[in-house]
Amino acid sequence: MKFSAEQIAGIITGTIQGNPSVTVSDLAKIEEGCEGSLSFLANPKYEEHIYTTKSSICIVNQSFIPSKSLPENLTLIRVENAYSCFAQLLEMYSQLNKKQPKIESPVFISDSAKIGNDPYIGAFAYISDNVIIADCVVIYPNVFIGENVEIGANTTLHPGVKIYADCKVGSNCIIHAGAVIGADGFGFAPDDNGVFKKVPQIGNVIIEDDVEIGSNSTIDRATMGSTFLRKGVKIDNLCQIAHNVDIGENSAMAAQAGIAGSAKIGERVLIGGQAGISGHLHIANDTKIVAQSGIPSSIKTADTFMGSPGIPLDEFKKSYFGFRKLPFLLKKIQELEKQIKEINND
């Protein structure tokens, strides 16, 4: 589908510098652009590419002033914020490519399931008893939805997603391929002989609106009650969220991070990749946890934490400076010991 510079400028409220009739049908990074593609420049670090790009249209900030001659066939669209405007176009492009309403064959849909208007349900999907699916939900092939699950409007479940019984997913959510929602929490109790006995996990998972969950992440059901992902939470690929965890609104965690059972994560908390958070603790709103950090105890006041165990970032930097000097300090100690020994021998 083709769009002219004039049409694009109208969508993002931009000013055209160049040919308003030039058209594009593809999106590309500025350094990889070709004729007929649309790019953007927001970060000055990439400015050099705008002088050699083959893209037909480039979105730039109003403040951009070229330091060299631009390509002859390049049309600029000037806006207040090039990055956010390009993101807006990406969203529009994504919506244009959204699956059209259709129920493919074969699928299994229980007679007791309730399906809203305009669904897309891909082949080999399995929808169990008493499932409620709202309007405009997209369910890709090989998705399993267990008994009594509820799915909100405009939510997308990518191929191979598994949602166990009794879980609830809000509206405008995206759950990527291979994610598992509602598997049993890791609950075992040793008997008198030290043999582990499984503790039944009878709770569920509640995912509120506007949540995105990355590929192959796992959200465990609660032992009792619910595991919560509050509104606007963003989870990267390969994350583990244990039973009875509660993640506050608009928090985000990067790949391979893990949260142990019953931890309470505040709002707007940012958790770096491979970070680990122990169970039964609280993390204050607006806390930042650096990648590969370990958090063994509650954080009561927002700060940036790094290391294992995690400590405030400024303290970690000072400690690390000392750690790097250890070889030098050890050498000095050995020299001093040698000198003391020589003095004593004298």
Q: Exposure of 296 by Cβ count < 10 A (0-12 exposed, 13-18 middle, 19+ buried)?
A: exposed
pTM of the model: 0.83
As given in the structure block, the two tokens for residue 94 are 């994504």
What CATH number labels 3-96? 3.40.1390.10
> Start-end ranges of CATH 3.40.1390.10 in the chain?
3-96
Residue 271 Rama label (left phi>0; alpha psi -120 to 50; beta): beta
For the annotated catalytic residues, the residue numbers are 243
- Polymer length of the chain: 346
The Cα–Cα gap between 101 and 117 comes to 9
According to CATH, the topology of domain 102-315 is UDP N-Acetylglucosamine Acyltransferase; domain 1 (2.160.10)
141, 120 in Cβ contact below 8 A? no
C-alpha angle with apex 249: 256 to 87, nearest 5 degrees? 75
Phi, psi angle pair for 116, to nearest 5°:
-75, -170
Q: What is the pLDDT of residues 26-75, one digit of tens each?
A: 999 999 999 999 999 999 999 999 999 999 999 999 999 999 999 999 99
Residues of the chain within CATH 2.160.10.10 domain(s) are 102-315
Mean pLDDT, 10 residues at a time, the chain of 346 residues: 93 96 93 94 94 96 94 96 92 82 96 97 98 98 98 98 98 98 95 94 98 98 97 98 98 98 98 97 98 97 95 88 85 89 81
Question: pLDDT (tens digit, 9 = 90+) per residue, 335-346?
Answer: 898 888 888 876
